[in-house]
């Protein structure tokens, strides 16, 4: 789905081809379409954050400050994956898969 398979190569990390190489679906949406991916990335970040905080506080018995710092590091490290996942979810909601599209 993304041109570069490595999400941690920051240059061009969110670049997508104009069309899906498998089904030829159009990835070029109207202006501002992908900014809505923020709304799909946010719940993913909240879920990861909640799981990490529970683990850090109640399983590993770390202090609140250490837990928050570690949470920041985890979310920063996972941000490219979260952004790509949010964009993929958004696109899946508006572009339906049609296996006969490329025929």
User: C-alpha dihedral over 65, 68, 71, 77, to 10 degrees?
Assistant: -80
Global confidence as pTM: 0.86
Backbone angles phi, psi at 86, to 5 degrees: -60, -40
Q: What is the pLDDT along the chain (103 residues), one digit of tens a residue?
A: 899 999 999 888 899 999 888 888 888 888 888 899 999 999 999 999 999 999 999 999 999 999 999 999 999 999 999 999 999 999 988 887 777 766 5
For residues 73 and 66, the answer to whether their CB atoms sit within 8 Å is no
DSSP string, 45-88: HHHHHHHHHHIIIIIS---HHHHHHHHHHHHHHHHHHHHHHHHH
């Amino acid at each position: 789905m993304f041109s570069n398979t490595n999400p941690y190569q920051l240059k061009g990390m969110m670049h997508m081809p104009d069309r899906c190489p498998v089904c030829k679906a159009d990835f070029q949406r109207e202006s501002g379409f992908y900014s809505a991916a923020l709304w799909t990335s946010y719940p993913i970040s909240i879920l990861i954050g909640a799981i990490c905080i529970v683990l850090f506080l109640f399983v590993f018995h770390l202090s609140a400050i250490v837990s928050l710092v570690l949470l920041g590091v985890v979310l920063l490290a996972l941000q490219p994956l979260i952004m790509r996942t949010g964009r993929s979810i958004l696109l899946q909601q508006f572009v339906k898969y049609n296996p006969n599209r490329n025929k």
